[in-house]
Structure 1
Amino acid sequence: MNKITRLTLVMAIILIGFETASAQNNFNAQGSTIVPNIYSCYPRPDYYYIPYFTVTNITSEEVQCKITVYDHAGNDMTQYSKIYTGGSSWTVISSGTGEFTLPAHSTRMYSLKPEGTSVRTMGHAVIEWKSNDLKLRKALVAGMLLQMSSKAGAGIAITNINNGQPF
């Protein structure tokens, strides 16, 4: 091979690599926060640890949200996610994607619930958002609830995400 052919081949490989990397995260978030210390398991209905995130839009604009949970090895666990709306009766609005639309001044609940599997997850989450209003800088507040049940009993722990500060 001559030098020009090799150079062209190398450039093509580099461009393919850039396109692949950019295709993996095309959400283009305007804001985000990291949620550490995620633990989840659901081997059977009487023994589980389920993390829930409540995410509230504090603006007068609709925003697009994306929540991704990563396990200890950095693997995306979003396939086990569900997004809910409702108060006394819950409705699943999204499942397995982690992406959802959050209307102005509304709240949604996210769960990571690997029902009926032996999957146990310890890791972290990333909550991202974007809006059609490119001047918007802070749009969300969020909290985390951990629900657990075992032979020893049941319990709930609640904490603010990002110290309760908008992001």
Structure 2
Amino acid sequence: MLGQSADGQRGVTVEISVTVNGETRTGDVEPRTLLVYWLRDDLRLTGTNVGCDTSSCGACTVHVNGESVKSCTMLAVQADGEDILTIEGLAPSEDEMHPMQEAFRANHGLQCGYCTPGMVMAAVSLLEENPSPTEREVRLGLEGNLCRCTGYHNIVKSVLACAGQASD
């Protein structure tokens, strides 16, 4: 179908229907639109950050069908029919945080906060795969997510705390 792009040019668009944070969302997207931009620009879910556009930093990490995915590596049309969880949908309610969010808060697992949404999403996925990781396993499991402030010690401490372990 033909539609009008943001720059006013007419181009081909594809209708997609995606479950985002438990709610079915539909939209017309250009086939080349990255999932991260559809989430941010069209759905206004701005907790998913764009850090590099090259899959190097992980700031855009979301869950697609329960798997941790860097949303700058996936086209929005590839998400058609899929189930996506963003940082906005992670907490059980507006009044309480997800245990990983609480662990990051309690253990000072953030500095500037830019990497935090992607880091939290990756950490949740990590604990789903390995509920009792060692410090080394946490460091390896999060190596695709970069913290430019180099707050890794407290990030690892937060993940281990959420897993019910202590770290030094």
Question: Taking structure 2 as the reference length, what is the TM-score of the superposition?
Answer: 0.28
Q: Counting strand residues as a fraction of each chain, which structure ranks higher?
A: 1
Task: Determine which structure has greater relative contact order: mean sequence separation of CA pairs < 8 Å that are 6+ residues apart, divided by chain length.
Answer: 1
Q: Which has the larger Rg?
A: 1
Normalised to the residue count of structure 1, the TM-score between the two structures is 0.28
Name the one with the larger helix percent: 2
